[in-house]
Amino acid sequence: MSLKVRLLAITSLWLLLVLLIFNTIAYYVFIHSVEKNEVLHLIRRANLVLKNPDIHNPQLWSSPTLLTEYFISEDIIRIIDLEKSVKAQSGTDTRLIDIPAHFTTEQNTTLFRSQGIAMAFVQMPIYSLDPKTSNLQIASLEIGRNLTSYTDSQKALLTILLWTSFGILIVSVVGGSFFYSTSLFKPLHQLAIAMQGVQKDGDFRRLPQAGDPKNNELIQLVFIFNEMIARLEAHSLRQNQFVLDASHELRTPLTIIESYSDLLRRWGGDDPKLREEAIDTIHSEAIRLKGMTAALLDLVVRTPTDEKLDWIDFNLTKLIDSVAQSLQVAFSREIEVLYPQVLAPLDIYLTGSPEKIRQLFIILIDNAIKYSDIGIQIKLQDEPLAVSVSIVDCGVGIPEDELEAIFERFYRVDKARNRKTGGVGLGLPIAQNIVRLHGGTIVIHSTLGEGTIVTVQLYKNGY
């Protein structure tokens, strides 16, 4: 069963239940109201009859005209004595006449059905007006009514309610089917077609969007789908660009290796100088390829669970000191580490992967060394929940219009210099990936010709 049919069936059943409850309440409220009105009407008539002094005189009960003035064709009026005998009666409806008389000592009302007809009866005591026997009950007055018109109204109301409910149900089914087809399931149908198109052809199709997604769940669904398609398309473009860039970067060293190996094969055997040059070049390019491959592997994003398998608490201060000292010796450059406390280093602990954090600062300090000619400063700033580390150099700087692109893979500001220093444009993307996996941020401020400041903020608890 399709979703449309199921929703239509559920809606119809719910509407039928609501109509059934509403109609039942309306029907019984109507019955109760009519019955109450009929009983009140009989009580008023009984009180009117009791106001006649002749009703309280037993000697006049035998008069054939005693009750005539109060008689209505649908009613019966009786006077019943203490012996429960009918002393006076006015009425022509045999169905009311056949109802046994009822003597009562207090006001009483009765509603019942006889031969399929609703009937209402009111009984009231008749007291003597003789001063000697004042307040002494001498008989009962009984007034009954045939509620034929009321019964007919009941049937008419029931018929109207049933046909009205049936009409509403039919309109609901037809209108609901049209509504579901045009308003509800049309966007879903378009969404399904778009998904099938993406699955079959690989096209990044978007759905037309009209309206505010905050006020309409279907528009919100279309908005989310379009956002997802946009991200998938952007991811696909980045993936294609990555393959192109990687192919281009790998082609260059492979071409150099191929050229020198071909040169070595042809003339290197008799020329020691050419042979040594070719071997050195092939070796350096092979190392470059190896480094590039390792860098590409570092860019492979693992799940957060995998990344946190090797997370421990470690001393960040000692780690940065160790990296700075190693690079200072390797490059014969001054690297100054500035701590929050001037007199003595403050031990700052961090939760994360010490190997990844070491790699992060090696990349950043190595970049600062490559693109500057004087000393490097590393500034640590301790905060309650996080620690900030800034690498400051006074080098060539980065043009402002290229700052947004420096985290893209294989992007190089100075391609000639990067070739000379061995860069392939993967260091900063790797650094950014490490910072992101540790829940931190990395920000670069640079002025062309003056230098660069790279600030990394890491949370102490790892997130």
Residues 5-17: tens digit of each pLDDT = 676 677 778 888 8
DSSP codes of every residue in 174-214: HHHHHHIIIIIHHHHHHHHHHHHHHHHH---------S-TT
Q: Which residue has the higher pLDDT, 306 or 441?
A: 441
Determine the pLDDT at residue 416. 44
- pTM confidence score: 0.46
Which domains, ranges and CATH numbers included, belong to the chain? Answer: 3-155 (3.30.450), 217-298 (1.10.287.130), 304-459 (3.30.565.10)
- Closest to 46 measured CA to CA, from 99, 109, 1, 93: 109
Task: Give the pLDDT of residue 343.
Answer: 45
Dist CA 40 CA 297 (whole Å) = 94
Phi, psi dihedral angles at 84 (to 5 degrees): 65, 30
Q: How far apart are CA 372 and CA 277, in angstroms?
A: 29
pLDDT of residue 174: 73
Q: How confident is the model at residue 245 (pLDDT cuts 50, 70, 90)?
A: low
Question: Distance between CA atoms of 390 and 418, rounded to whole angstroms?
Answer: 23
Q: What is the pLDDT of residues 107-133, one digit of tens each?
A: 999 988 887 788 899 999 999 888 777
Nearest to 38 by CA among 148, 124, 141: 148
> Highest-confidence range of 10-14, 22-26, 294-298, by mean pLDDT?
22-26
Helical spans, DSSP H, in 371-453:
415-421, 427-437
| More confident: 81 or 292 | 81
Using an 8 Å Cβ cutoff, are 381 and 453 in contact? no
